[in-house]
Amino acid sequence: MADGMPTHGSTQLRSVIYGAAVGDALGVPFEFLTRDTFACTDMTGFGTHNQPAGTWSDDTAMLLATCDSIRTCRAINVDHMRECFCDWLNNGAYTPDGVVFDVGGTTSEALSLGQGLDGTWDNGNGSLMRIAPLALTNADDNQIRAVSAITHAHAISTEACVSFVHTLRHVLKEPDRARAAICDEQASTTRDEVRSGGFVLDTLQAALWCFATTASYADCVLTAVNLGSDTDTTACVAGALAGAYYGLDAIPASWIQALRGKDVLEGCLFA
């Protein structure tokens, strides 16, 4: 088997990808809003980015670009993956309607330069949000780091991606044991202690906390959005994790129905 080849079937992949995309779309209208100044209870539209309900952001677009590269190359090919990311940024690929309405500064600069950034301040969550598909391949840790480093090359970001991929694999392989471990790790953390801004380690911890303190896919992603600030990314990462654990059928059908661009999403799946 070539490095980076898929190892899981289409059902698990769809659970993770739809889990992430739905969470992302739920969060888009509320991005940058302060915690407890709003309440997300359902799929809505417009708001911060003035997008129709069910529109995903750069998070899912780059996640789908990652998927599409794996589908095309049948391996982890960082040069090809970078081209897919540039196709998104420059041409609106991997979006529901060809519109790019949000992009992180590190991501934009790295794709413009053709290399990832490795400064201390280059540890936003822009590689974590798109790394989930690698959990469904046999990519090793160095390949995971290399995929992160297309944009986010600092060790804090690359190791956060390695950690999240390992967590997703554990959830997919041993769901109950993995959930128990995550719940134990998050047991002493209160909501007031959870940060939901753009720092990669904050996003990872927030996603784990949302998963550990809820009992359904819907509650997990709504809890993530309602933390405020980087709502779409927190819910995207938490949604991938919850999708892996609860499965595709646990995502509310009305939310999947409302999700725009499902043909784009389906065309990028590699298993």
- Give residue limits of the domains in the chain: 10-268
pLDDT digits (tens, 9 = 90+) for 26-73: 999 999 999 999 999 999 999 999 999 999 999 999 999 999 999 999
Superfamily in which the 10-268 domain is placed by CATH: ADP-ribosylation/Crystallin J1 (1.10.4080.10)
Contact 182, 211 (CB under 8 A): yes
Can you tell me the distance from the alpha carbon of 263 to that of 244, in angstroms, rounded to the nearest whole number?
21
pLDDT digits (tens, 9 = 90+) for 203-257: 999 999 999 999 999 999 999 999 999 999 999 999 999 999 999 999 999 999 9
pLDDT digits (tens, 9 = 90+) for 84-134: 999 999 999 999 999 999 999 999 999 999 999 999 999 999 999 999 999
pTM over 0.85: yes
Can you tell me the distance from the alpha carbon of 51 to that of 58, in angstroms, rounded to the nearest whole number?
13
Can you tell me the distance from the alpha carbon of 48 to that of 172, in angstroms, rounded to the nearest whole number?
34
Can you tell me the distance from the alpha carbon of 242 to that of 251, in angstroms, rounded to the nearest whole number?
9
Hey, is 237 helix, strand or coil?
helix
User: Residue 2: pLDDT above 50?
Assistant: no
Arithmetic mean of pLDDT over the chain: 96
